[in-house]
Structure 1
């Protein structure tokens, strides 16, 4: 048996779902078929990838290595498929809405809603870790819309004449740590409880490195910081090597705990930018719906909202500049 992309997708699904039963349901397979496929994959690789028990399935050390290598490959294939579809739509001559964004779980729902509104207009997506770069692309006419986040204390450089609306005035940033980390037992984690942990942060994301350093030092913590992308950070957090900052809408995983930080010391502002207010109207309501859809699917964030009795921070996108 040779490993194929579909086998890697199976391993990622099991790791994310935390059980063969849930993974089979998400993959549209019967559980016995999935179990058989997993055994064949393990035989091919020469070792057990998951431990099975009453509480579900968790990656073994070998499984962590394989899944961490599989995730970017699966994501890259998905990106190739998406780009190919966009290219096909472009070749067909249909109108396009050029969208740019920093990372967000709201993106799939946003694109789905944009596509449903005008089936013939396949939206294109430009991802970038730099919000400032995306804003420049909008100002230069290379993008129609950009959905970005602005780290508190590190204001973005908004080009003159750009129109910006606020989706969320202040979205708290949570911490992600191993499910068996002592602090994971708390509903809210104090920074002091993480004083001896190493943090991993993506320094290529505008403002995030400086923002975390500032918050930790204000708490009297001299941080042990590692550079790394968030995919790697999540993999290392799952085995207790690091803790990392995460968006509150992050998808739950059985091997990770996503918790609010006590006092909400880290926040970002979520913005939508375009050249004109009319262009902002060409996707703002769909983005708002998509964002609150994923917010409702994130238990930690939902609990945070309920505890503060804030409901939706903004019922409609608010204009902050033009």
Structure 2
């Protein structure tokens, strides 16, 4: 087996995230596939590259040696791809590179952008780490990203990035099993969920810190399970955990979404674009990107019954990008 750039990229992802599971998510692979790939790489180089510990995966001395050589190669290849795409854009073809931490509004946003620029090569990059997406905007690897900033845990915005506010304060709801005794109530309090197991994704920037702050303010200390959103969906439906969720979250079999009393948990929704550079013109202006995102967000907001009811009860929600009307 000969090592390829994709193998080096996988090794760097494992080292950077400290976990094969997290690296697989970042690379868009399944964990078993990445584990198999790592095993083959280790067989090819003739030694173990990572130690598997309870706290994650750590490079061995051999792994550190290989990573020192791999990182410059991966960086050079990424730069080569980015510069080649930019050159292709300058030669006549347009490209639009979009990223997001994830939202039900994203499909509608991409649909509007593709309709607006039917000839452009529009690509999408998903990452729960808002800081990584902002870094990619600053380095001109992405043209725009839609991210969220957890209240009380501000994002660190790198130089060269402009922020545009979509929603100043979006309340976060909670997903619980449809069989939960509280599922019939329209609004839930943190106190009545204090004995539940809560699931949170610790790799999503600010989410665990923000949730911990809300628990402390409420004077509760529930049990917490760490996991990703895909795992949460099945566990919530099974009644094993409850989980914070976006108010625009679509209905899923076996669970319901409810607002929290007093809206203690909230995020700010942001569009980030590169600062304009002299002599260059973006494929699409930030104002147009934001307008299409507002339209897509409005669509999913009104499609969500719990959020629609919340909006109608909060007709003074001036921070929303649309009028609240019946």
TM-score class, shorter: 0.5 to 0.7
| Partner Cα separation in structure 1 for residue 209 and residue 182 of structure 2 | 24
SS in 1 for 2:268: strand
What does residue range 14-33 of structure 1 map to in structure 2 within 5 Å?
none
Counterpart residue number, 2:93: 94
| Partner Cα separation in structure 2 for residue 160 and residue 76 of structure 1 | 31
Aligned length: 232
- The C-alpha deviation readout for 1:161-207, integer Å capped at 9, x for no partner, is 32111000000000000011111121110001101100010000000
- The C-alpha deviation readout for 1:275-297, integer Å capped at 9, x for no partner, is 23774124111111001101111
Contact kept? 2:237, 2:253, Cα under 8 Å? no
| Partner Cα separation in structure 1 for residue 132 and residue 29 of structure 2 | 22
| Partner Cα separation in structure 2 for residue 173 and residue 160 of structure 1 | 29
Q: Report the TM-score when normalising by structure 2.
A: 0.67
What does residue range 211-290 of structure 1 map to in structure 2 within 5 Å?
211-276=210-275, 279-290=285-296
SS in 2 for 1:263: coil
| Partner Cα separation in structure 1 for residue 253 and residue 202 of structure 2 | 27
Contact kept? 2:96, 2:120, Cα under 8 Å? yes
SS in 2 for 1:258: strand
SS in 2 for 1:302: helix
Contact kept? 1:199, 1:226, Cα under 8 Å? yes
Contact kept? 2:298, 2:321, Cα under 8 Å? no
Unaligned 5+ segments in structure 2 are 1-24, 31-84, 277-281
| Partner Cα separation in structure 1 for residue 287 and residue 254 of structure 2 | 40
| Partner Cα separation in structure 2 for residue 76 and residue 310 of structure 1 | 44
Q: Say what the alpha-carbon RMSD is for the aligned residues.
A: 2.4
The alpha carbon displacement at 1:305 in A equals 0.3
Counterpart residue number, 1:297: 303
| Partner Cα separation in structure 2 for residue 162 and residue 281 of structure 1 | 15
Moved >2 Å (runs of 4+): 90-94, 276-279, 310-316
* Counterpart among 296, 315, 319 of residue 313 in structure 1: 319
Counterpart residue number, 2:66: none
Counterpart residue number, 1:207: 206
The alpha carbon displacement at 1:227 in A equals 0.6
The alpha carbon displacement at 1:309 in A equals 1.4
The alpha carbon displacement at 1:212 in A equals 0.7
Pick the structure with greater CA Rg: 2
Q: Report the TM-score when normalising by structure 1.
A: 0.68
| Partner Cα separation in structure 2 for residue 98 and residue 315 of structure 1 | 24
| Partner Cα separation in structure 1 for residue 129 and residue 199 of structure 2 | 18
Counterpart residue number, 1:116: 115
Counterpart residue number, 2:3: none
Range moving further from structure 2, 305-314 or 167-176: 305-314
| Partner Cα separation in structure 2 for residue 122 and residue 182 of structure 1 | 49
When residues 115 and 189 of structure 1 are mapped into structure 2, their CA distance, relative to the original with a 3 A threshold, is: same
Unaligned 5+ segments in structure 1 are 1-71, 78-86, 317-322
SS in 2 for 1:123: strand
SS in 2 for 1:232: helix
SS in 2 for 1:218: helix
Contact kept? 2:167, 2:321, Cα under 8 Å? no
| Partner Cα separation in structure 2 for residue 256 and residue 315 of structure 1 | 28
